[in-house]
């Protein structure tokens, strides 16, 4: 140490040293001019930052209020951005003892033209769900990154496999050629956790793409690649909990930032408690305040700073990355007043945006409660436009495996649809046979590809927004044999050195090509069929294992017949006269063959037949 420095160090009272003020970060790191809401709340973090004086000198951008919290390392600045504010860089100065201790160049950006009018995903789209760690590893240089705890280990089903954003961007033409229109990628934000970090649901920094997936800029590039191809991008977000290694967990702003318990207390996972008229206070409380897991602290969205932090985070990503939609994880597990305010504030800025919430419950009535404009007795309005159709997922997993009876087999699909009166907007339900949290459909159907095809035909022709899980088109299988990793297998061919490449027709097996071609035919057909995307729906009570429904509008009619029997059936169609009497023939959408006699239609065993009527 230099002698002069040593003298100063010795003369400096200890109290002064401990009062050193530094600036570490400001969230959101930037913002935009031109939002309807002219208020912005900045989280400021730095050592003893509460002891600083703050000034901003920028036209139209001013501090309205400064809030201190329990921890002096935080400040919350309520800013106003009025009509005089122009895009540019505002300097925020932090002073302590008349010395500048921190300087932040705060960028106020210009919004892209048409940003507020963006159209969210809808029933004219088909969503393709990708787990980024498991799709393709195009950049081995980011497989292990200094400072990131969990190393890559492709041999561990629950470890990191090295997939990344460049891997998705590099295969975006594969995704487009398949015929889907929207990409939902499971969470990409930093998850610097020791284990299971690949799945992304333990966020450790809400403003930063995990460096093992790439950079924020790589995410923008993927968004551009998607948009250039006329497709849409959906971001997966998590408000209920963060990762235990989140930067703020080491130095919480206030004790009530997360829902604390005297000892680790797990949620009861009973989402039904939030709608149950008889739920005990203890059960309801445990559901929303209990932790999802030991490594997933439960965020307290009743704290207004937490609430604003999360809402602004969504708006930041929508505007920054040009999102077309959000998927909200564990939606009912957050305080529902907060998620309603989230939905409302996003709708105010982006009226045609769409968001789908994971409300994992088995009954249409329970799920319907969470959709925007539901006629709820307690007058709760979630402001969540879209919900996943979990009751249909349950039905689909059973329907083709069961013997037919009064209330089993194909009737299950009919039953779920007959309860659509519960929903404020059934066409804004996301319909799926599988996702990243459940056993793959092919496994539940004991590898019977006929049943997988039936399920896909149903998902793509029923009402709502279809969702396809990556790899289904090439018969990717896997279940919860031994941890979740098996439901999330690597896409064959996504890694250099893979001996099996399912991304190309040449690399696929005959069986895989057969499934891929089936999906591709259906998906490209659906893209052009307004009648299937948004036409009306009507069905006939299943009889003898045959379920028939129609999609129709003023111009077109499509008939779908599901034969759930193990034998070929000749379906006599007189019962369907209210639709068929104006038609003479049709075309089988899958085979392209003409259906010349629509009075008697032959449907092979365990097959969905889709007929465009002429």
**Positions that interact with Ca ion (CB under 5 A):** 137, 139, 142-143, 162, 164
Q: Which is nearer to Ca ion, 164 or 349 (CB)?
A: 164
In terms of phi and psi (left: phi > 0; alpha: psi -120 to 50; beta: otherwise), the region of 512 is alpha
For 80-118, give the DSSP string: EE-TT--SEEEEEEEEETTEEEEEEEEEEEEPPTTGGGP
Q: Which two tokens stand for residue 113?
A: 């033209």
CB of 127 to Ca ion, least distance (A): 24
Q: Which two tokens stand for residue 594?
A: 């003409």
With b meaning 16 or more CB within 10 Å and e meaning fewer, what string describes 490-507? Answer: bbbbbbeebeeebbeeeb
Candidates 329, 349, 467, 512; catalytic one? 329
CB of 151 to Ca ion, least distance (A): 12
Q: State the Cα–Cα distance between residues 228 and 238, nearest whole angstrom.
A: 28
CB of 143 to Ca ion, least distance (A): 5
566 is catalytic: no
CB of 165 to Ca ion, least distance (A): 9
Cβ atoms of residues 295 and 243 within 8 Å:
yes
Q: Which is nearer to Ca ion, 198 or 414 (CB)?
A: 198
Q: Which is nearer to Ca ion, 214 or 409 (CB)?
A: 214
Three-state DSSP at 147 gives: coil
Q: Which is nearer to Ca ion, 496 or 554 (CB)?
A: 496
> What DSSP character marks residue 493?
T
Q: Which is nearer to Ca ion, 50 or 130 (CB)?
A: 130
Q: Which is nearer to Ca ion, 385 or 485 (CB)?
A: 485
- 203 phi and psi, to 5 degrees? -70, 130
CB of 162 to Ca ion, least distance (A): 4
Of the candidates 227, 239, 213, the one whose C-alpha atom is nearest the C-alpha of residue 311 is 239
What's the Rg (C-alpha) of the chain?
A: 27
260 is catalytic: no
Q: Which residues make Cβ contacts (< 8 Å) with residue 345, sequence separation at least 6? A: 37, 311, 315
Candidates 139, 298, 358, 612; catalytic one? 358
Cβ atoms of residues 488 and 462 within 8 Å:
no
Separation in Å, CA 174 to CA 263, 505, 510: 48, 11, 18
- 57 phi and psi, to 5 degrees? -125, 90
Task: Please identify every residue annotated as catalytic.
Answer: 329, 358
């Amino acid at each position: 140490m230099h002698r002069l420095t040593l003298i100063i160090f010795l003369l400096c009272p200890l109290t002064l040293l401990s009062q050193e003020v530094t600036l570490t970060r400001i969230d959101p790191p930037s913002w935009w001019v031109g939002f309807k809401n002219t208020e912005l709340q900045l989280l400021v973090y730095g050592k003893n930052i509460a002891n600083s004086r703050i000034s901003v000198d920028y036209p139209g951008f001013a501090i309205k209020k400064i809030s201190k919290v329990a921890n002096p390392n935080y400040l919350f600045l309520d800013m106003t951005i009025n009509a005089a504010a122009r895009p540019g860089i505002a300097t925020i100065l932090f002073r302590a003892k008349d010395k500048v201790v921190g300087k932040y160049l705060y960028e106020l950006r210009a919004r892209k033209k048409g940003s507020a009018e963006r159209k969210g995903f809808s029933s004219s789209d088909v969503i393709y769900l990708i787990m980024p760690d498991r799709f393709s590893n195009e950049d081995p240089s980011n497989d292990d990154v200094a400072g990131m705890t969990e190393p890559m280990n492709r041999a561990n089903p629950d470890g990191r496999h090295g997939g990344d954003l460049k891997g998705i961007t590099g295969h975006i033409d594969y995704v487009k050629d398949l015929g889907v229109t929207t990409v939902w990628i499971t969470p990409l934000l930093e998850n610097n956790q020791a284990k299971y970090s690949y799945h992304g649901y333990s966020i450790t920094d809400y403003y930063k793409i995990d460096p093992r997936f790439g950079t924020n800029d790589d995410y923008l590039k993927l968004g551009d690649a998607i948009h250039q191809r006329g497709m849409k991008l959906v971001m997966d977000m998590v408000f209920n909990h963060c990762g235990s290694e989140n930067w703020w967990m080491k130095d919480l702003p206030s004790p009530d930032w997360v829902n604390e318990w005297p000892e680790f207390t797990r949620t009861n996972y009973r989402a039904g408690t939030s709608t149950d008229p008889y739920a005990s206070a203890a059960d309801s409380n445990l559901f929303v305040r209990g932790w999802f897991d030991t490594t997933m602290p439960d965020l307290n969205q009743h704290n207004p700073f937490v609430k604003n932090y999360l809402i602004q985070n969504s708006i930041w990503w929508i505007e920054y990355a040009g999102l077309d939609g959000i998927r909200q994880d564990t939606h009912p597990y957050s305080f529902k007043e907060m998620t309603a305010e989230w939905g409302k504030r996003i709708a105010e800025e982006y009226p045609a945006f769409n968001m789908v919430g994971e409300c994992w419950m088995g009954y249409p009535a329970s799920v319907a409660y969470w959709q925007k404009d539901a006629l709820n007795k307690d007058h709760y309005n979630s402001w969540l436009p879209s919900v996943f159709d979990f009751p249909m997922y349950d039905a689909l997993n059973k329907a083709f495996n069961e013997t037919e009876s009064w209330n089993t087999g194909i009737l299950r699909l009919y039953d779920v649809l007959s309860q659509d009166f519960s929903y404020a907007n059934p066409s804004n339900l996301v319909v799926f046979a599988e996702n990243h949290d459940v056993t793959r459909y092919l496994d539940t159907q004991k590898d019977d590809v006929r049943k997988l095809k039936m399920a896909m035909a149903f998902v793509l022709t029923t009402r709502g927004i279809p969702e396809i899980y990556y790899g289904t088109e090439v018969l990717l299988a896997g279940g919860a044999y031994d941890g979740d990793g098996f439901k999330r297998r690597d896409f064959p061919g996504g890694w250099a050195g893979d001996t099996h490449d399912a991304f190309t027709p040449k690399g696929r097996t005959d069986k895989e090509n057969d499934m891929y071609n089936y999906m591709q035919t259906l998906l490209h057909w659906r893209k052009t069929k307004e009648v299937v995307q948004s036409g009306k729906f009507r069905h006939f009570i299943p009889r003898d294992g045959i379920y028939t429904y129609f999609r129709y509008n003023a111009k077109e009619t499509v008939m779908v017949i599901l034969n759930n029997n193990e034998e070929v059936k000749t379906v006599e169609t007189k019962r369907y006269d209210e639709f068929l009497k104006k038609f003479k023939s049709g075309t089988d959408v899958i085979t392209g063959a003409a259906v010349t006699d629509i009075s008697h239609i032959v449907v092979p065993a365990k097959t969905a037949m889709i007929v465009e009527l002429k």
